[in-house]
Amino acid sequence: YSTWHASNAVNTAREACGGAGYLAENQLSIIRGDIDVFTTFEGDNTVLYQLVGKELLGAYADDIRGLSARGWVRFVATMARDVVAEKTAVRQVIQTILDDSDEDTDDSSLTNRGTQIRLLRKREDHLLRTCAQRLQKSKSDDDAFDVFNSAQDHLLKVGHAHTERLVLESMIATIAECEDGPVRELLWKVCDLFVYSVLEADLAWFLMHRHVSVERAKAVRRGVNDLCTDLRPHARALVDAFGIPEQLLTAPMLDHG
């Protein structure tokens, strides 16, 4: 997830700088060349997402094993709760936020932490269950490899949704431990931007499955732009938090002299 994010970020930066982004002296072309290898460095990203999806399906299957035909139908029809999230060691702060927030994601603010968590959990839950149903429809004599590959698009999306949910919950839990003050307030805005950008990138899915309304979808797009505007004055402070050497933060194209 992080290497694909890095690849997308450097490509966006290169495009934003026009022809100057191709010049080696401005470093983006060098960074771009270095970034590509990391999408396969620890194992191909697509294969790793397959493994994540397969592991999630395995945990899901353990939860429903032994159900009768009637029990399975009831399980699917009632939109079973996210058993994977239940099994995960969710930090107490996340559970507290969920307990204290409104269950109705339609009426609550998109900056509400409980709403953010629920939206991403609902997506992961839906994708996991429907992927399991899709695989279960295969015939007993079908080749397992072919069945698995036929649902690869669905499986990859399960892994992607799971990763983004984990990122959000880890971010919320960590920021909640920070002392009150400007740093914590700034990090909450970064968290909001992450959620808004995730929703914007997958807006078609959220709309299609009625997890967000058309009006809320419009608010997401406005929110991304508003949050980018709010965070722009703090860009250098956020970059400095990564401890990047000063010589890597300069380039001739930034010299307006």
pTM of the model: 0.81
CA angle 176, 181, 184 (to 5 degrees): 40
The string over 12-30, giving b where at least 16 C-beta atoms fall within 10 Å of a residue's C-beta and e elsewhere, is eebeebeeebeeeebbbee
CB 66 within 8 A of CB 31: no
Residues in contact with 216: Cβ distance below 8 Å, sequence separation at least 6, in sequence order? 106, 110
Integer Cα distance of 203 and 211 in angstroms: 10
Q: Which two tokens stand for residue 141?
A: 């004599």
Q: Which two tokens stand for residue 52?
A: 């994540």
96 pLDDT exceeds 70? no
CATH code linked to domain 43-254: 1.20.140.10
Residues in contact with 113: Cβ distance below 8 Å, sequence separation at least 6, in sequence order? 97, 101, 172
The CA–CA distances, whole Å, from 9 to 16, 51, 187 equal 11, 25, 19
Residues in contact with 51: Cβ distance below 8 Å, sequence separation at least 6, in sequence order? 159
How many residues in total does the chain contain? 257
Give tens-digit pLDDT for 197-222: 999 999 999 999 988 889 989 999 99
Residues in contact with 234: Cβ distance below 8 Å, sequence separation at least 6, in sequence order? 186
Domain ranges, ordered by start, for the chain: 1-42, 43-254
Integer Cα distance of 114 and 102 in angstroms: 7
Residue type, 192: D
The string over 191-228, giving b where at least 16 C-beta atoms fall within 10 Å of a residue's C-beta and e elsewhere, is bbbbbbbbbeebbebbeeeebbeeebeebbeebbeebe
Give tens-digit pLDDT for 18-76: 999 999 999 999 998 888 888 887 678 888 888 888 888 888 777 656 545 455 444 44
3-state secondary structure of 72: helix
Q: What is residue 73's predicted lDDT score, i.e. its pLDDT?
A: 45
Q: What is residue 82's predicted lDDT score, i.e. its pLDDT?
A: 45
Looking at per-residue pLDDT, the higher value among 146 and 23 belongs to 23
- In which band, very low, low, confident or very high, does the pLDDT at 163 lie, cut at 50, 70 and 90? very high
- Determine the average pLDDT of the residues in 134-150: 73
When the pLDDT of each residue in the chain is averaged and rounded to a whole number, the result is 83
Q: What is residue 106's predicted lDDT score, i.e. its pLDDT?
A: 63
